[in-house]
Amino acid sequence: MALIRQGIWFVLIGGLQVLADWAMFVALTALGLAVAPANIAARASGATLGFWLNGRITFAKAGQQRLGGRRFGRYLLAWIVFTVLSTWLIAAVASHFSLRYAWLAKPVVEGLIALLSFATARCWIYR
């Protein structure tokens, strides 16, 4: 049951993160910021919210939040790895197709990365 509850909360919180991330990415690139720095800034905007909500709700045990410096360090390391992957993929779409295709691809890329992120969060970050 914990896996199902965690999965549902992770999807809900992740949806908020992807929406904030995507909106900021579109806004920054529309204002002329290059794709790579815009993607990094956009992912950072949702990262803090995601760490806090997932630690307080998704992966909390018996009502006890699962936050703290050690978990944040693991979260930050995972975030860096996933951000490099996301930035590489989004930049590739933008350079091979167009910025508009990158805008469309961003939620798909982030959704696929979310699958890896859930496993990482459940087994390593918030354990």
DSSP secondary structure letters along 5-60: HHHHHHHHHHHHHHHHHHHHHHHHHHTT--HHHHHHHHHHHHHHHHHHHIIIIIT-
Q: Which of 27, 28, 47 is nearest to 37 (CA)?
A: 28
pLDDT of residue 40: 97
Per-residue pLDDT reduced to its tens digit, 16-34:
999 999 999 999 999 999 9
Note the pTM of the prediction, 2 decimals.
Answer: 0.86
Q: Which two tokens stand for residue 102?
A: 């990158």
pLDDT beyond 80 at 73: yes
Sequence spans of domains, the chain: 2-125
pLDDT of residue 85: 97
